[in-house]
């Protein structure tokens, strides 16, 4: 990573103007395989007053990087994550993934974007309780229209990759431990070979030892699957493990 300058910038600096020539060249080269956020703002109407949850955030994350967004609760990190995952629409600004501006996509395109480009990992795992681990992992592939046999094979392969044997693959989430459920969720997030995996407090419900294992797994997958991972956390221990860390305070990006 040290070979090129990372464009970690605060909201009041325009990255395109202030980048040195080398990093500029690199960013152009990686344009099509990169997550770029520009002047992203999200406002909510709460009663009489407007809350700006994400305030003019700009950042760029290259491919295959495990990065974290840290901040206190209410700092807007979860909102930023849902904007990245197209779960919510920004009030203004751009999100550029693989050269496409996500914030300008229509509803049906957004569904496709979520399905094909994004993998989600949640704090509460959010597995479908009456489906087996295998079926949970097969679900995103069903939505993208893969054949039954292909779904099954890939799901089994992914589950094996995250460390779940066949016996556990056929179990429902209720009969798996928290760490195992999160592994299933990771496998599910990887199912459609996304460009970007978004993790919301992925270790929040786990003990620190299991959490460490999950983080190592994510870091490893970022490399082997060449997938950008953005994890939201308030755990500085995890942030230290990340290649890039962004700190949010009151919706604004601050330098560490």
Partner 1 sequence: MGVISRGIKNAFRNTIRTVSITFILGLSIAMSLIMLLALKTVQAKIDTVKGSIGNTISVSPAGVRGFEGGGELLTNENANEISALANVTSITKTVTDRLTLIGSTSNMPTREGESTTTNSTTSLTSSVEAGSFGGRQQRQQVANTGGDATQTFTMPVQVIGTNSLDSLSALSATKFDIVSGSKFDVSSTENIAMLGQALATKNNLSVGQTFTAYDKSITVAGIFDAGNTFANAMVLMPIASVQTLSGQTDQINSLTVQVNSIDNLSSVSEAIKNKLGSDKIDITSSQEEANNTVTPLQNIRSISLYSLIGSLVAGSVIILLTMIMIVRERRREIGVLKAIGSSNAKVMAQFTVESLVLTLVSSVVGIIIGVIFSNPVLKVLVTNSESSSTSSTAPGPGGSGGMAMMSRMGEGAGNAIRDLQAVVDYKIVLYGIAAAVVIAIIGSALPSFFIAKIRPAEVMRAE
**Residues contributing to the site for partner 1 (CB under 8 A):** 78-79, 81-82, 85, 87-88, 108, 111-112, 114-116, 119-120, 122-124, 126, 128-131, 135, 138-140, 142-144, 188, 192, 200
- The neighbour count for residue 133, using CB atoms within 10 Å, is 28
Q: Which is nearer to partner 1, 13 or 131 (CB)?
A: 131
DSSP code of 31? G
Task: List Cβ neighbours of 147 (8 Å cut-off, separation of 6 or more).
Answer: none
Report d(CA 54, CA 35) in Å as an integer: 17
Beta sheet of 196-200, edge-to-edge order? 118-121, 196-200, 228-233, 66-70, 244-249, 252-254
Q: Which is nearer to partner 1, 200 or 241 (CB)?
A: 200
Look at the block and give the residue holding tokens 């599910």: 188
Query: Whole-number minimum distance, CB 151 to partner 1, in Å?
Result: 8
Task: List Cβ neighbours of 71 (8 Å cut-off, separation of 6 or more).
Answer: 77, 234, 247, 248, 249
DSSP code of 125? -
Query: Whole-number minimum distance, CB 120 to partner 1, in Å?
Result: 5
Report d(CA 40, CA 91) in Å as an integer: 8
Query: Whole-number minimum distance, CB 22 to partner 1, in Å?
Result: 37
Look at the block and give the residue holding tokens 């953005």: 230
Q: Which is nearer to partner 1, 34 or 121 (CB)?
A: 121
Q: Which is nearer to partner 1, 24 or 152 (CB)?
A: 152
Query: Whole-number minimum distance, CB 55 to partner 1, in Å?
Result: 18
Q: Which is nearer to partner 1, 26 or 229 (CB)?
A: 229
Question: What's the burial of 222, exposed, middle or buried (CB within 10 Å: 0-12/13-18/19+)?
Answer: buried
Query: Whole-number minimum distance, CB 170 to partner 1, in Å?
Result: 13
Distance of CA 1 to the CA centre of its chain: 19
Query: Whole-number minimum distance, CB 225 to partner 1, in Å?
Result: 17
Q: Which is nearer to partner 1, 23 or 126 (CB)?
A: 126
Query: Whole-number minimum distance, CB 188 to partner 1, in Å?
Result: 7
Q: Which is nearer to partner 1, 144 or 224 (CB)?
A: 144
């Amino acid at each position: 990573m040290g070979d090129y300058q990372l464009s970690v910038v605060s909201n009041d600096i325009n990255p395109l103007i202030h980048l040195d020539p080398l990093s500029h060249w690199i960013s152009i080269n990686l344009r099509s395989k990169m997550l770029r956020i520009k002047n992203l703002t999200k406002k909510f109407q709460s009663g009489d007053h407007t809350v700006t949850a994400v305030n003019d955030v700009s950042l760029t994350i290259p491919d295959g990087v495990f990065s974290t967004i840290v901040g206190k609760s209410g700092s807007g990190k979860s909102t930023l994550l849902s904007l990245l995952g197209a779960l919510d629409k920004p009030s203004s600004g751009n999100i550029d993934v693989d050269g496409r501006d996500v914030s300008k996509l229509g509803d049906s395109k957004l569904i496709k974007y979520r399905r094909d480009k994004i993998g989600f990992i949640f704090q509460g795992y959010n597995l479908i309780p009456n489906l087996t681990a295998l079926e949970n992992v097969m679900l995103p592939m069903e939505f993208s229209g893969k054949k039954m046999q292909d779904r099954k094979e890939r799901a089994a392969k992914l589950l094996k990759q995250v460390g779940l044997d066949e016996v556990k693959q056929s179990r429902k989430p209720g009969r798996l431990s928290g760490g195992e459920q999160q592994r299933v969720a990771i496998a599910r997030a990887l199912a459609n070979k996304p460009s970007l995996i978004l993790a919301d407090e992925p270790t929040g419900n786990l003990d620190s030892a299991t959490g460490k294992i999950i983080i190592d797994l994510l870091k490893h997958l970022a490399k082997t699957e060449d997938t950008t991972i953005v994890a939201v956390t308030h755990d500085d221990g995890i942030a230290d493990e990340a290649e890039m860390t962004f700190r949010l305070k009151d919706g604004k990006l601050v330098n560490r």
